[in-house]
Amino acid sequence: MTLWIGLTGGIGSGKSQTAAEFAKLSVPHIDADALSRSLSAEGGAALPPIRAAFGDGVFDSQGRLDRAALRDEVFRRPESKKKLEDIMLPLILAAVKTQQQAYSAARYGILDVPLLIEQPAFAALTDRILVVDVDEATQIRRTAERSGLGEGEIKRIIAAQSPRRRRLLAADDVIANCGTLAQLGEKVRRLHGFYREL
Ligand code: ADP
């Protein structure tokens, strides 16, 4: 049976970089965010229920989802956030399970879910939780360099995510990603050896 490692961390903690390091070692990788985006891309299964719930106002004139309008709606109204999650969550979970079945011959795989701690339904699809952790100053600096977002906006996103302490409490394994990229690669290779033996 394949062991599934749930990979999570706050914005800018280095989740994507960590996932890329595991991918270099040919470890199967399921990206819940990418699945979510493809479900809401053109022709995606999430579009009809999103239109039914939020109306034409969150679609552009070509019939494509207007992600900025939807994000705005969800930020402004907690009930809209819940409504969108109720649409997306079962679809993403089903897509994750399908991919997990496709990798059933692997020893272990990485399930990359930014909101793993917030959404226990994802945690239920994993056997261990790996948290990528950095101090907040590093998190803000790396996110700003990568995305160009301002400090205020980044802090708002951080505040909407699980607190660092809560994530660490849920972790079975932690990568402290305060060092160099080479050090991150080394930590991933060490964990790779550990996970292969579990
Ligand atoms: P996340 O996916 O958690 O939001 P990323 O993996 O995209 O975060 O990392 C955020 C930014 O920080 C990226 O530009 C990434 O290349 C950089 N980064 C990640 N880890 C390190 C590191 N150890 N040293 C330097 N830069 C890093």
138 lines ligand 1 (CB under 6 A): no
Distance CA 136, CA 142 (A): 10
Provide CATH code, domain 1-28+107-198.
3.40.50.300
- With a 6 Å cutoff on the Cβ, whether 146 touches ligand 1 is yes
Cβ neighbours for 35, distance < 8 A, ≥ 6 positions apart = 92, 95, 96, 99
Residue ranges covered by each domain of the chain: 1-28+107-198, 43-102
User: What is the value of pTM for the model shown?
Assistant: 0.90
Confidence of residue 1 (pLDDT cuts 50, 70, 90): confident
**Hey, which residues does 19 pair with through a beta bridge?**
none
Contact status, residue 39 vs residue 92, Cβ threshold 8 Å: yes
Q: What is the pLDDT of residue 90?
A: 96
CA of 180 to the centre of ligand 1 (A): 10
pLDDT, tens digit (0-9, with 9 covering 90-100), for 18-61: 999 999 999 999 999 999 999 999 999 999 999 999 999 999 99
20, 133, 91, 77 alpha-carbon torsion, rounded to 10°: -130
**Closest CA to ligand 1's atom 19:** 14
Q: Residue 195: which of 32, 22, 14, 19 has the closest Cα?
A: 22
**What DSSP state is assigned to residue 115?**
T
